Amino acid sequence: MKDKLETKLREAGQSVSRPDNFIRTGVIFFHRVVFVWLMLTLVATNHAQERAMVSLMQDKTNGGAAPSASVPRASSGITLDGALTESDWAQAAPIGDIIQREPKPGEAATEQTIVKLLHDDQNLYIGAVCYDSEPDRIIGTEMARDGDLSADDRVEIIIDTFHDRRNAFYFATNPLGALVDALVIENGQVNRDWNAIWYVRAQKFDKGWSAEFSIPFKSLSFNRGSRTWGFNFSRSIKRKLEEGRWAAARLDVRFFQVSEAGEIHGLDDARQGRGLDVRPYVSGKWTRDHISDNSDADAKAGVDIFYNITPSLKWTSTINTDFAETEVDNRQINLTRFPLFFPEKRSFFLENAGVFNFSNTGSELLPFFSRRIGLLAGREVPILFGTKLTGKVDRFDIGILGARTRETDFIDAKNFFVARVKRNLFEQSYLGGIYTEGDPARPTSSRTFGADLRLATSRFLGGERNFQIDAFAIKTANEGIEDKDLAYGFSVNYPNDLWEAQLGWRQVGERFRPALGFVPRPGVRRLNLGLEFKPRPRNFLNVRQMFHELFFNRFTRLDTRRVESWRLFTAPVNWTFNSGDRVEFNYVSQFERLFAPFEIADGVVIPAGDYRFTRWRAEFGTSSKRKVKVDGTWWLGSFYSGHSDEVEVEVQFKLAPHFQMSLETEQTFARLKEGNFVARVFSLRANYSVSPFLTFFNLIQYDNESRDLGWQSRVRWILRPGNEVFIVFNQGWLRHQDGSFRSARTGLAGKLQYTFRF
């Protein structure tokens, strides 16, 4: 929850000089509640910890060796229909048992799963038969490409083709045959926006459901002749909240921990052919500005080229780049003093983007942020061409990117360059460097140099526990700036199922400005601490797991050497039940020192000074397995010189297997001495999938800051993976003072892309 909380509106409160007796009473009561609940938790979880120790001892008794399996060659053709009826499937041996990870680690799965592997000259085949004693209760609601399968029964696969125990390809599907893929980077980071050309079919039968994957070797990177690949398989049964795995069925191991995967053998004859994909496209766009009564239309063509220089090194180029199919950003109202972060959504920059990831800095400090290229102050800058080289050379991961933008009426043509290299150390560690050059906004030159180190293990102190240390240093070189341009820091993480702890420290210079990066808060020194106790009680109010959380962040200004802000977040109650429902209660204490007046809303200016706030939160969420899912959050308490309430409600409705809809609202009601204001954001999503290859997406958003109502409707038609048609319609309305909405702009775009494989 902490990542979500850090991106929320800044909770605030009353001045330090105005104590509130109610808050004092609440704090005393809160401490007593924490003490009582911790005592109850320790008692309730005693049996659960004993059971976990038994499971661990059983695992050690079995030798602790990762499972392995061979991949036989198919002697005849495989027809991809979701049913494993060919003779090759009948002759292939299952890879082994699927063992529970949740809710009872180490025990046999409650439903049988049979997994088999095959290969031929061009493809790796994975077949899964998922038996179910209650087939009418199988859950499948998502069809869209790269949809969220967390609410469905599903099977997931990771394939570590280099067997480097840190990077992998991820594939997943559900009983409806949805295509979901991703890249796993550095033993746990996931790039879900990566798309490959592959195929899957699923079907239900009277005893469960089955899935059949066909993954072309042309879509994978690997070392030619490698005899061993990493592999893992997971099956989730949503109604039981049960997960079973082939390898590493332990609570402390997340599925994306590639280091804990099993092994498969027999793919040393895998070939990629020429390894060349050429994907030309044509697109057209029409827009109309109703305010100025102007219209514009244009059409263009371009091409994307993908070439495997070696089976492990890919060159990707795009000419006359077009992003007509990209989804609009989610609306946000900024009630903080710092810029908001919007993720990258453009396909060229998302392809193999993980190789450019840097250290463990999150979105608060990025030496390279691809949205700086081709976007400037919310306006699009056309990209003439882009090229990048990504992959592995021996024990080195490399990424090189170059791009050139066109000249426009508001900015000159620009060149950009990014280089990233990592030297793999031991099993899960690395030493890396990064270099960027180019400034999208200024005519002056700008460069950034950085280095990072990660030391990680899943065998900390000889046990089966995760531990990680990260350190980094970055320097920017901008014309006219000679000092105070460094950023450096470190973090220590202990991410495990029962206990999770973190410590981080960093310093960002006042003049640190990576022109191709993202730094919302320069000129500060930050300290963050975190501790989570996450027991799994047995027979205690039907609770699956408790999350007792404590996080502390402090920012100190470098120029004044004074604390600028700090925040203490606690979660004495954060319970997930065996039903999948959850409840949470939080107490947050926060301090803000304003060195200058801050306009938080139109006409509402908070004067400089010290402010101390106390915030309370109540939150609940129903299980995602339900047809109707409801999530609600209520923040209340002091806010700068007064008080505020923040209410968030999201309702999701699923009419399986084709229709999904969600309505979400975020509203803040602030009552301050300087004035009152209300901030509102509404969004409605309504998606209809005809099949896993044809989906209609609709997103309607409104916020009362811009007074803009926007509707985007997108159609994605996958003729077959790699060959796609996109149609995108945009409509915007502005709300006037009389409350009426008037049309402001209309847009229609279409794009056809077709992939030729050699």
Dump pLDDT digits (tens) for 235-277.
999 999 999 999 999 999 999 999 999 999 999 989 888 889 9
pLDDT at position 379: 87
Q: Which two tokens stand for residue 70?
A: 């061979």
Q: State CA 138 to chain mean position distance.
A: 26
Task: Identify whether the C-beta of residue 77 lies closer than 8 Å to the C-beta of residue 214.
Answer: no
| Beta strands at 199-205 and 604-606: parallel, antiparallel or unpaired | unpaired
pLDDT at position 50: 40
Q: State CA 299 to chain mean position distance.
A: 33
* Mean pLDDT score, 515-542: 95
Kindly report which listed range (296-300, 344-348, 362-366) carries the lowest average pLDDT score.
344-348
Q: Which two tokens stand for residue 418?
A: 């990014």
Tens digits of residue pLDDT in 209-218: 999 999 999 9
pLDDT at position 41: 44
Kindly report which listed range (198-207, 359-368, 411-420, 643-652) carries the lowest average pLDDT score.
359-368
Task: Identify whether the C-beta of residue 8 lies closer than 8 Å to the C-beta of residue 536.
Answer: no
Task: Tell the residue number behind the tokens 């104590």, with chain if given.
Answer: 19
Domains of the chain and any CATH numbers:
65-265 (2.60.40.1190)
Kindly report which listed range (179-183, 184-188, 405-409) carries the lowest average pLDDT score.
184-188
Does residue 373 carry a pLDDT above 90?
yes
Kindly report which listed range (57-66, 479-488, 520-529) carries the lowest average pLDDT score.
57-66
Task: Identify whether the C-beta of residue 173 lies closer than 8 Å to the C-beta of residue 206.
Answer: no
Does residue 12 carry a pLDDT above 60?
no
pLDDT at position 57: 36
Neighbours of 715 (CB within 10 A): 15
pLDDT at position 23: 40
pLDDT at position 58: 38
Neighbours of 70 (CB within 10 A): 13
| Average pLDDT over all residues of the chain | 90
Strand partners, 499: 533
Of 437 and 342, which is predicted with more confidence?
437
The percent of residues above 90 in pLDDT, for the chain, comes to 75
* Mean pLDDT score, 336-348: 87
Does residue 556 carry a pLDDT above 80?
yes
Tens digits of residue pLDDT in 577-623: 999 999 999 999 999 999 999 999 999 999 999 999 999 999 999 99
**φ and ψ at 7, to 5 degrees?**
-100, 5
Instruction: Extract long-range pairs of 630-637: CB within 8 Å, 24+ residues apart.
Output: 635/11, 637/11, 637/13, 637/23, 637/588, 637/613
Region for residue 707 given its phi and psi (left: phi exceeds 0; alpha: psi -120 to 50; beta: otherwise) = left
Residues 6+ apart with CB under 8 A from 85: none
**Distance between CA atoms of residues 50 and 45, nearest Å:** 9
Does residue 323 carry a pLDDT above 90?
no
Does residue 465 carry a pLDDT above 70?
yes
Tens digits of residue pLDDT in 474-518: 999 998 888 889 999 999 999 999 999 999 999 999 999 999 999
Does residue 2 carry a pLDDT above 50?
no
End-to-end CA, the chain: 46
Query: What is the number of residues in the chain?
Result: 758
pLDDT at position 328: 87
Residues 6+ apart with CB under 8 A from 24: none
